Amino acid sequence: MEKGASRIGIALGLMCGVGPMATDMYLGAMPDIATSLNGSAAGVQMSVMAFFLGFTVGQLFYGPISDRTGRKPMIYLALAIFVVASIGCIFAGDVRQLLAWRLLQGIGGSIGMVMAAAVIRDLYTGVQAARLMSVVVLINGVAPIVAPLVGSMLLGVGSWRLIFMVLACFGLLAAVVAWTMLPETRMRELRETSRPGDALKWYVHLVLRRDFIPYAGTLALAQGGFFAYIAGSSFIFIDLYGLSPMAYSLVFSLNALGLGAGAQIATRQVSRFGLRAIARASTGIYAAAAILLLAIQLAGAGGVVPTSILLFLMISSLGGIMPTCNVLSLEGHGAISGVAAALMGALGFGAGALASLLLGVFEDGTATPMIAMIAVCAAAAALTSHLAFPRLKEQLQPAGS
């Protein structure tokens, strides 16, 4: 990959990392937050849902507006919102205030994936787009590896509020990197013909398109299971299985490493098997592992070892789903790539918000609700990819080409 593309990949990966950092860095602190703010576990879990809801709403605005203004003005605006909201979280006095600031933080942090998808579509399609997206996923995958460990270390030297101070600084860093390393990729002539007021029309258009909704829907369903894991795993591993926050952070980081490795392995096979085949195979692995874990849990044989092993397999398979479905969703929609990326992202994080909400509703002190939610989402993603993907012939390249 040429130097310019690598620089863009680094800038986009760091910007995308804002979201995972804002989620994963404080997961190990959630029991402490509940105690500090005199709230319940379910109440603090709702802060994850609030963040995902903000992610959903933000993307729906940033995508179409960036088609008109260009990508970089929206990046600067969103990261400024993220920094302000992170500072607000520091001073939250109760769970309700935390929920409000987390909602705003999600609105700011949502810029990452929607702009990454739009920028890559501005520049590339097909295998090239998948390769650059895999670089973004790999760099972005560092955030979930580092974030829980950093969060645990910060808890060792201060309170959970220190985590949000570091997040504010990270948002500033992402803005500086975007300013110095990321060019404006939206062509002027396309900006001049784009009208944000037409976004609703284009959203309806995309929902009805067979070259968009099966791919975006598969990705959304897969992400719903992923976000159920994010919302529920800290309480399960720390409160139920008795792991320390540091041990939980190591488990979470290992899964994040699997996500990045899965993305690299999958995209290296795209030229041989095609994007759709890789996506179908990945959803099949995801669903099989999730259903097996649910069966083990219902049989009363669940525990830290089988849960950790099968979660690692599930998260690794997501590495094959995310870049392929991302590229497939946007492939035929270059003129409205911002709108398409926004809808794709909103569907994913909307599914995540719903999964987190249902997890809080059905929370019963066991691992079953989280595992069941993941299994349902994974099975639905696999069925969608195998039944609804258009049967198109892809141009493949011989191995080693």
Q: Write out the two tokens for 43.
A: 């109440």
**pLDDT recorded at residue 146:** 81
More confident site: 258 or 256: 258
Report residue 399's pLDDT band, with 50, 70 and 90 as the boundaries.
very low
Asked whether residue 201 carries a pLDDT value surpassing 70, the answer given is: yes
Nearest to 229 by CA among 369, 345, 362: 369
Report residue 215's pLDDT band, with 50, 70 and 90 as the boundaries.
very high
pLDDT digits (tens, 9 = 90+) for 352-389: 878 878 887 888 888 999 999 999 999 999 999 998 78
More confident site: 257 or 309: 309
Asked whether residue 83 carries a pLDDT value surpassing 90, the answer given is: yes
Domain boundaries, given as residue ranges, for the chain: 3-180+196-387
More confident site: 131 or 93: 93
Rg (CA), the chain: 20
All residues at 6 or more sequence positions from 202 whose CB lies less than 8 Å from its CB, including other chains: 64, 336, 339, 340
Residues 97-107, mean pLDDT to the nearest whole number: 95
**pLDDT recorded at residue 400:** 38
pLDDT digits (tens, 9 = 90+) for 131-173: 777 777 777 767 777 888 888 889 888 899 999 999 999 999 9
Mean pLDDT for the chain overall: 86
Per-residue exposure over 282-319, b if at least 16 CB sit within 10 Å of its own CB, e if not: bbbbbbbbbbebbebbeeeebebeebeebbbbbbbbbb
More confident site: 113 or 351: 351
Asked whether residue 4 carries a pLDDT value surpassing 80, the answer given is: no
**pLDDT recorded at residue 385:** 92
Look at the domain 3-180+196-387 and name its fold.
Answer: Growth Hormone; Chain: A; (1.20.1250)
Alpha carbons 254 and 312: distance in angstroms, whole number = 8
**pLDDT recorded at residue 272:** 84
Alpha carbons 206 and 201: distance in angstroms, whole number = 9
More confident site: 27 or 73: 73
Rounded to two decimals, the pTM is: 0.73
Alpha carbons 145 and 26: distance in angstroms, whole number = 13
**pLDDT recorded at residue 397:** 45
**pLDDT recorded at residue 202:** 83
Asked whether residue 393 carries a pLDDT value surpassing 80, the answer given is: no
